[in-house]
Amino acid sequence: MTWGHYAGAAIVLAVIVGVGVLSGRAVKSERDFSGKSRSSNSGLIMGALLGTIIGGASTIGTAQLAYSHGLSAWWFTIGCATGLLLFGTWLVKPLYASGHHTVPQIIGSEFGPLAAKTSAVLASIGTFLSVVAQLISAVALITAVSALANPVAIALMVVLVLAYITFGGALGAGYAGLVKTVLLTSFVVICAVLALRGVGGLSGLLDAPELPHETFFNLNGRGFGLDGAAGASLVLGVLTEQAYVQTLVSAKGLRSSRKGALFAAALVPIIGALGVLIGISMRVTHPDIESAMALPLFIMDNLPSLPAGMMLGTLLVVLVGSASGLSLGIATVLTNDLLLPRLRRGDNALATIRLVLVGVLAVASVVAFSSSGGLILNWSFLSMGLRGAVAFWPLLAALFLRGRIDRRFVVPAMVCGPLGTALGAWLGPNSLDPVWFGVGAGLVVMTAGFIVQWRTKPRQSGLQ
């Protein structure tokens, strides 16, 4: 990197940090920090959703998988967009009307405190894996353009996350999300145009001998059992992710929440498609690089130093924002559903949630340092799949089947989700994603709870 690169990155970082600090002045309590005050308009909702979804997986990770396997990398953003679309058209109304702020609270309101605590712990583990994916993406970005070692890159990322989220919370995530979405979309469009020009246009890309059509231009190039499951994992993961639920219920009204979700759903797959295009193009022009470096090296090679630095700075902010939103979701769940009920009245809830946030990032740093080098999207797919396997069926039952599921079956269903996923990974065929086993196991147990409730208490369940 030259001084031009550093100057461009510094401009973007200064803008985002300034937005975070200014928005932090509006945070007076834990309710403002976590979004409980319900004061966000549709623009802030869209910004916060995009700020979390458009992270390392949907940019660096998507380009990495596209470099290795082609069009199947688009499943990540297709799945995210489908989940947001379902939020906006189907789930946001019952979520908003529930009056609850976390997924465990919604589940617990129907199935009791044990179900709430179980979902809080298990779903937070799934979300934690997405935080790890953001840190691994940061290592790929920072080490590609500098001489910093992996531990220093991770430490820098953690400091930026804390600066981004600690002062502004949910409000800061919304304002900064809007700014970085505008920056990222602008730069990704420019990079995609340059990528096409570099390979002779779309026809040159399609005719490149390095890109077998059955793999690189097939949405299910790795097989539907893997790629289709990856898309399904994303849908289930988005619908049960605390960060997205927390954002949607922070809106000042149902209409603002719905509009924010639908606007975000429209933009996410476009950014993903452009990232796929860049990754595939790099396979033609740079066939021997490490796949995780596809997007950072494209930027360094094809943009002048100042705009390249701004793009790199924007990517870093994208990673920071996504890690921040996910970490805030974990901290909110653990604080509200596990810690605050045990604390004495008068203890500082805002200080507690910030301390939990620091702890989450510290543990994620250790895991990321020991795990860097793999496919970034694998972490994200696993994260989404685990969250969906744990909470998807209980959440739907709590919202739409009140009184119709025997609560004794709910905790076993949530436990069977990750267990089924683990057994599927161990015993299942390599061509089939193990998340199918986890989601299926949870559905079987929840169905048994439905049947038992119907047989024993038909009047109370409203099924007579």
Backbone φ and ψ of 162, nearest 5°: -65, -40
Residue 294 in any domain: the answer is yes
**In a shared domain, residues 156 and 87:** yes
Backbone φ and ψ of 401, nearest 5°: -125, 45
Backbone φ and ψ of 345, nearest 5°: -60, 135
With a CB cutoff of 8 Å and minimum separation 6, the contacts of 436 are 225, 229, 232, 424
Residue 395 in any domain: the answer is no
Give me 96's structure tokens. 């908003």
Residue 394 in any domain: the answer is no
Task: Report how far residue 217's alpha carbon sits from residue 283's, in angstroms, rounded to the nearest whole number.
Answer: 13
What is the structure's pLDDT at 20? 65
What is the structure's pLDDT at 344? 55
**In a shared domain, residues 437 and 332:** no
Q: What is the pLDDT of residues 351-391, one digit of tens each?
A: 787 788 889 999 999 988 887 666 788 888 888 888 889 99
* Residue 40 three-state SS: strand
Task: Report how far residue 25's alpha carbon sits from residue 389's, in angstroms, rounded to the nearest whole number.
Answer: 38
Residue 194 in any domain: the answer is yes
Task: Report how far residue 83's alpha carbon sits from residue 79's, in angstroms, rounded to the nearest whole number.
Answer: 6
**In a shared domain, residues 79 and 202:** yes
What is the structure's pLDDT at 98? 86
With a CB cutoff of 8 Å and minimum separation 6, the contacts of 30 are 36, 349, 350, 353
Task: Give bridge partners of residue 251 from the DSSP assignment.
Answer: 40
What is the structure's pLDDT at 225? 82
Cα radius of gyration (the chain): 22
Give me 21's structure tokens. 């600090």
CB 83 within 8 A of CB 237: yes
Give the up-direction half-sphere exposure of residue 221: CA atoms within 13 A in the CB hemisphere. 20
What is the structure's pLDDT at 26? 53
* pLDDT tens track, the chain, 464 positions: 789 999 999 998 888 777 766 665 555 544 544 445 566 788 888 888 887 788 888 899 999 999 999 999 999 999 999 999 999 999 999 998 888 888 989 999 999 999 999 998 998 888 898 889 888 888 888 888 888 888 999 998 888 888 766 554 444 555 777 787 888 889 999 999 999 999 999 899 999 988 998 889 999 988 888 888 888 888 998 999 887 888 888 888 889 999 999 999 999 999 999 999 999 999 999 999 989 899 999 999 999 999 999 999 889 888 887 787 788 778 888 887 777 666 654 456 777 877 888 899 999 999 888 876 667 888 888 888 888 899 999 999 999 999 999 999 999 999 999 899 888 878 878 777 788 899 999 999 999 999 999 988 754 544 43
**In a shared domain, residues 375 and 232:** yes
With a CB cutoff of 8 Å and minimum separation 6, the contacts of 297 are 144, 282, 286, 289
Residue 44 domain boundaries: 3-382
**In a shared domain, residues 359 and 422:** no
Distances 358 to 218, 327, 370 between C-alpha atoms, Å: 41, 9, 19
Count of structural domains within the chain: 2
Task: Give bridge partners of residue 40 from the DSSP assignment.
Answer: 251
Q: Return the CATH number at 118.
A: 1.20.1730.10
Residue 392 in any domain: the answer is no
Distances 338 to 85, 119, 169, 242, 280 between C-alpha atoms, Å: 31, 11, 20, 15, 45
CB 226 within 8 A of CB 52: no
* Residue 348 three-state SS: coil
Q: Is 70 exposed, middle or buried (0-12, 13-18, 19+ CB in 10 A)?
A: buried
What is the structure's pLDDT at 461? 44
Q: If phi over 0 gives left and psi between -120 and 50 gives alpha, with beta otherwise, what is residue 289?
A: beta
**In a shared domain, residues 322 and 443:** no
Express as a percent the part of the chain with pLDDT over 90: 43
Domain boundary among 351, 382, 413: 382
**In a shared domain, residues 196 and 281:** yes
What is the structure's pLDDT at 33? 47
Residue 149 in any domain: the answer is yes
**In a shared domain, residues 62 and 93:** yes
Domain boundary among 347, 382, 417: 382
What is the structure's pLDDT at 333? 80
Q: Determine the length of the chain.
A: 464
Residue 396 in any domain: the answer is no
**In a shared domain, residues 374 and 446:** no
Name residue, tokens 């929440």. 257
Q: CA 208, 212, 215, 218 torsion: positive or negative?
A: positive
**In a shared domain, residues 217 and 95:** yes
Residue 341 in any domain: the answer is yes
**In a shared domain, residues 193 and 66:** yes
CB 200 within 8 A of CB 350: no
Domain boundary among 326, 355, 382: 382
**In a shared domain, residues 35 and 162:** yes
